[in-house]
């Protein structure tokens, strides 16, 4: 069995290599399957190509995330370029959703006016797709245990393997029965899977872009864990957000008991350690002795700068 207990640079290099091969293989097959769907006149095959593109994009995004995380911050992008992957994910999902709706429109017409489909060609192409997905899944299954991005891509691949089986079953039905409506029906079923995935990606991406609290984190639990630290009387102006899909940040004002202010640095250290260990929040900004702060304002309402009108 392959040794997966790798660390640091060696792990990243092995993962980059696997992702590069996976991106090339799924990208190449996407083009092949799309062309094959056109030649065989199979809507199911073309829909599966769109689903395969989701796999290609998920793998490419995971590969891109590794490289983008290595780019240094700049005076214009102090967080670096991590948020690019979220923005690209949002745009890609929106476009793919529109494409899928177009496929549904075409499928609706084919149900009432079925068109001939070259079933043997469809089965052959879908079988190649199943093999590609199984190969990529085997390449990545070990890495999926330790990386949330790779796990997401792995699940995409597993879903597309199931879709390929559906296309093969539909083509076999056409071959033995001549019932052509099964092709748009299979395409519609795969289209539903794509829409569910796109909506999920749109929700996750927009949640991050709108600075929402990460779904994996309970804000009240975080606040209680901070208050458990000896010397912390209360917490306010608490904000938790995602820099990208798996990098979290936090800022908060802590009300330190007067008799404990001499060990403020130690208190901050304890809070940071607990946040990292229990909630995987590694980027924190903590402030104490907040003059003029509203102690009852847990979230620290952000006030817009007063707009002045210059009348002449």
Residue pLDDT, tens place only, 238-270 = 999 998 877 899 999 898 888 888 888 999 999
Tell if the pTM clears 0.85, that is, is over it: no
Question: Residue 300 has what pLDDT?
Answer: 59
| Size (the chain), residues | 312
Give whichever of 59-63, 112-116, 179-183 has the largest mean pLDDT: 179-183
Task: List, in order, residues 6 or more apart from 4 with CB less than 8 Å away.
Answer: 142, 143, 145, 146
Percent of the chain with pLDDT over 90: 29
> Could you count the other beta carbons within 10 Å of the beta carbon of residue 84?
16
Question: Residue 176 has what pLDDT?
Answer: 92
State the Cα–Cα distance between residues 79 and 73, nearest whole angstrom: 6
- The CATH fold of domain 219-288: Alpha-Beta Plaits (3.30.70)
State the Cα–Cα distance between residues 163 and 196, nearest whole angstrom: 14
Is 293's pLDDT higher than 80? no
* pLDDT averaged over every residue in the chain: 83
DSSP secondary structure of 140-207: HTTGGGT-HHHHHHHHHHHHHHHHHHHHHHHHHHHHHH--TTHHHHHHHHHHHHHHHHHHHHHHHHHH
State the Cα–Cα distance between residues 212 and 235, nearest whole angstrom: 19
81-85, 220-224, 233-237: segment of lowest average pLDDT: 81-85
Name the pLDDT band for 82 (thresholds 50, 70, 90). Answer: confident
Question: Residue 275 has what pLDDT?
Answer: 94
Describe the crossing of helices 43-68 and 182-209 by its angle, rounded to 10 degrees: 20
State the Cα–Cα distance between residues 143 and 157, nearest whole angstrom: 14
Q: Judging by DSSP bridges, how do beta strands 247-256 and 232-244 pair with one another? A: antiparallel
74-88, 100-114, 117-131, 181-195: segment of lowest average pLDDT: 74-88
In angstroms, how far is CA 125 from the centroid of its own chain? 28
Check: CB of residue 147 under 8 Å from CB of residue 15: yes
What average pLDDT does range 149-169 have in this prediction? 80
Distances in Å between the alpha carbon of 220 and those of 236, 267, 288?
12, 20, 20
Q: Burial-class residue 126 by CB neighbours within 10 Å (0-12, 13-18, 19+).
A: buried
What is the Cα gyration radius of the chain? 25
Is 171's pLDDT higher than 60? yes
Is 96's pLDDT higher than 50? yes
Task: List, in order, residues 6 or more apart from 310 with CB less than 8 Å away.
Answer: none
> What residue spans define the domains of the chain?
8-209, 219-288
Check residues 264 and 152 and name the one with the higher pLDDT: 264
- The CATH fold of domain 8-209: Alpha-lytic protease prodomain-like (1.20.1510)
What average pLDDT does range 201-214 have in this prediction? 89
List pLDDT tens digits, range 30-45: 999 999 999 999 999 8
List pLDDT tens digits, range 50-70: 888 887 887 887 777 777 777
Question: Residue 273 has what pLDDT?
Answer: 94
Check: CB of residue 236 under 8 Å from CB of residue 298: yes
Residue 75 DSSP class:
S
SS3 of residue 51 by DSSP: helix
Question: Residue 4 has what pLDDT?
Answer: 44
Is 303's pLDDT higher than 70? no
Is 308's pLDDT higher than 60? no
Check: CB of residue 150 under 8 Å from CB of residue 80: no
Question: Residue 146 has what pLDDT?
Answer: 60
């Amino acid at each position: 069995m392959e040794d997966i207990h790798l660390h640091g640079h060696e792990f990243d290099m092995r993962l980059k290599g696997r992702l590069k091969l996976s991106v090339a293989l799924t990208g190449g097959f996407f083009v092949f399957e799309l062309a094959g769907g056109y030649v065989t006149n199979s809507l199911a095959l073309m829909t599966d190509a769109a689903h395969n593109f989701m796999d290609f994009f998920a793998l490419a995004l995971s590969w891109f995330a590794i490289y983008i995380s290595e780019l240094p911050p700049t005076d214009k992008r102090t967080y670096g370029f991590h948020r690019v992957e979220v923005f690209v994910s949002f745009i890609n999902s929106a476009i793919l959703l529109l494409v899928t709706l177009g496929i549904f429109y075409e499928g609706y017409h084919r149900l009432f006016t079925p068109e001939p489909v070259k079933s043997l060609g469809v089965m052959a192409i879908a079988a190649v797709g199943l093999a590609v997905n199984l190969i990529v899944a085997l390449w990545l299954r070990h890495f999926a245990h330790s990386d949330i991005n790779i796990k997401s891509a792995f699940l995409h691949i597993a879903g597309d393997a199931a879709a390929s089986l559906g296309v093969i079953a539909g083509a076999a039905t056409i071959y033995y029965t001549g019932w052509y409506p099964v092709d748009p029906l299979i395409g519609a079923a795969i289209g539903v899977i794509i829409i569910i995935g796109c909506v999920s990606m749109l929700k996750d991406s927009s949640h991050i872009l709108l600075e929402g609290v990460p779904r994996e984190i309970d804000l009240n639990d975080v606040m209680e864990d901070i208050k458990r630290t000896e010397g912390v009387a209360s917490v306010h102006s608490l904000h938790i957000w995602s820099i990208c899909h798996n990098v979290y940040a936090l800022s908060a004002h802590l009300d330190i008991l007067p008799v404990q202010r001499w060990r403020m640095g130690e208190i901050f250290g304890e809070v940071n350690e607990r946040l990292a260990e229990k909630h995987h929040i590694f980027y924190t900004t903590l402030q104490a002795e907040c003059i003029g702060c509203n102690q009852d304002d847990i979230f620290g309402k952000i006030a817009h700068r007063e707009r002045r009108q210059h009348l002449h």
